[in-house]
Amino acid sequence: MADQGTKSARRGPTVGDMVRSLAIILVPLVLIYWLFTKDIEEQPVRSIDYAPTLREANERAPYTVMAPEGLGEGWIPTQSHYFDDGQLGRDGEPTQGHEWVVGFISPDEIYYGVLQTDHDAAETIGDLSRGGQQQGSETIEGREWERWRSPDGRTGVLATTADGVTLTVTADADFTQIADFARTLEPQKQKN
């Protein structure tokens, strides 16, 4: 009898043992797959009031701040920031130059971002276009704007620079749409 007990203790894994082991591995994998691939309900776009930040930018920026006016129905402001030169910026790093940012979602769900800064124009445009190429220029409301397109062709940037201040409009849209948005930009106060 002692011999039989030794035989059963040495017996290899049974089919039941393998099924249980497989279940221990597969159940969490299936659960993880289900959690990450199920349809996530779309979150509504959160609208913000950018007026306080615009007032702050008007008070502190060493240039005339530009902001859109008269965008019409369906445009949703989603972000606004003003940073003084050297202040910790959106990326947690000190900003280089004074930076005014405001962004909107259009009625057709395209994000349009406005950035105005007295930082180096070439570096600013290079960052926004992700190292893109200039694709000509156009005149909008009496200002000459350069057209830039990201290497993947997705993001367009219109940029204009005057008196050391660069003003940009960025969107994943064609230049006609970006120019239409740029036409809404108005000076918010005159600097002396």
The string of DSSP codes covering 48-94 is ---HHHHHHHHHH-SS--EEE----TT-EEEEEEEE-TTSB-TTSSB
CATH of domain 51-187: 3.30.200.100
pLDDT at 192: 44
Confirm if 126 and 160 have CB atoms less than 8 A apart. no
pLDDT at 22: 77
List the chain domain ranges: 2-37, 51-187
Inform me whether the pLDDT recorded for 74 exceeds 70.
yes
CA-to-CA separations, 170 to 32, 47, 103, in angstroms, rounded:
37, 19, 9
Question: pLDDT tens digits, residue range 147-185?
Answer: 999 999 999 999 999 999 999 999 999 999 999 999 999
Q: The pTM is what?
A: 0.76
- What percentage of the chain exceeds 90 in pLDDT? 70
Contacts 24+ apart (CB under 8 A), 146-154: 147/175
> What is the C-alpha separation between 157 and 146, in angstroms, rounded?
8
pLDDT at 63: 96
